[in-house]
Amino acid sequence: MSAPDDLRSELAELARQARAWVEWVADSGVDELPRATEAPSAARQPVVEQPPVTAPSEDASPATQPPVAVAPRPPKQARAVTPKPAAPRRAAPSIDVPDTPAARAARLAELADEVSGCTKCGLHETRQNTVFGRGSPAAKLVFVSEGPGANEDAQGVPFVGKAGQLLDRMIAAMGYQRDEVYICNVVKCRPPRNRKPEPDEMAACLPYLHEQLALLEPQVIVCLGATGVEGLLGSSMGITRMRGTWKLYRGRIPLMPTFHPAYLLRQPEKKREVWDDLQQVMKRLGMDPKAKSQRSGEDGD
Ligand code: URA
């Protein structure tokens, strides 16, 4: 490609990013440009930004955090700082993670099929469809939310309603294509009237999510709202206190809690904080928010 072509495609990419950002803040009332990630808010991050500083609660009840051991695979890339594994405190049944990406993708599809016939909790009685997940089995970034709503139940796909459109804009503003990331929920069936899933429903469904994450082995997990953090880490702290602070899933995978897109639809001024959180995530993934072209060519593993 000639130099002018390079320049043109870089300008097109910058324009695409700017458009994604403008769409994301369109109704937020936020009128300033994003800060550089090198200057994180001192108020929220008084200590060091990396590596992740908060370990998951090991005291989580077995109902919300069943012990699972996953055979470690070599990291996909050396760029991200990999936190040291936490010493396991108890014997854990292991999830069998196939060696190859193709075999992991096949197991993911098989698991989705198993979930489609699941009757482990009462939620199956009122569902139209199970909602397993969407996105790339090779995703480095996985979003975990609470559970499907009415649109998702009708279509069998997560985040297809208004909150989903906002999430898609968040993903685009980060510089990702919609299907480059992976999106899933703690429970795979819609709780009636969109209520929070009950502890027994979460406990019944969580083994699916743990296996899903073991097969995906993302570099970063973003929890949208408190329920994802509660399911994965057993922490019941409010999302307002947790957001913006790194946690660890299974002692290894950095996890960033942030606000749920449905909350942002009601409180658009909170997008500013979510964008701060997502910038931390981009940085952790080795993406400089100011130079997204870095990322090209790195997605094929
Ligand atoms: N809200 C969620 O938590 N999950 C979805 O899939 C859709 C809306």
pLDDT digits (tens, 9 = 90+) for 93-124: 588 999 999 999 999 999 999 999 999 999 99
More confident residue, 178 or 79: 178
The pair of structure tokens assigned to 46 is 């008084």
Asked whether 156 lines ligand 1 (CB < 6 A), one says no
Report the DSSP beta bridge partners of residue 185. 145
The pair of structure tokens assigned to 15 is 């324009």
Percent of residues, the chain, with pLDDT higher than 70:
66
Asked whether 158 lines ligand 1 (CB < 6 A), one says yes
DSSP conformation letters of 177-217: -GGGSEEEESSSSPPGGGPPPPHHHHHHHHHHHHHHHHHH-
pLDDT for 195 beyond 70: yes
Separation CA 120–CA 31 (nearest Å): 47
pLDDT for 272 beyond 80: yes
pLDDT band at 7 (very low <50, low <70, confident <90, very high): confident
Mapped onto helix, strand or coil, the DSSP state of residue 281 is helix
Separation CA 265–CA 271 (nearest Å): 9
pLDDT for 133 beyond 80: yes
Average pLDDT value for residue range 129-141: 98
pLDDT band at 90 (very low <50, low <70, confident <90, very high): very low
pLDDT for 175 beyond 90: yes
Show the domains of the chain with their CATH numbers.
101-287 (3.40.470.10)
Mutation test residue for ligand 1: of 152, 181, 205, 212, the one with most atoms within 8 Å of CB: 152
Q: How far is CA 222 from CA 232, 246, 247, in A?
A: 11, 10, 10
More confident residue, 92 or 198: 198
pLDDT band at 47 (very low <50, low <70, confident <90, very high): very low
pLDDT of residue 52: 34
Asked whether 187 lines ligand 1 (CB < 6 A), one says no
- Atom of ligand 1 minimally distant from the CA of 183: 6
pLDDT band at 301 (very low <50, low <70, confident <90, very high): very low
- Residue 39 Cα to ligand 1 midpoint, Å, equals 32
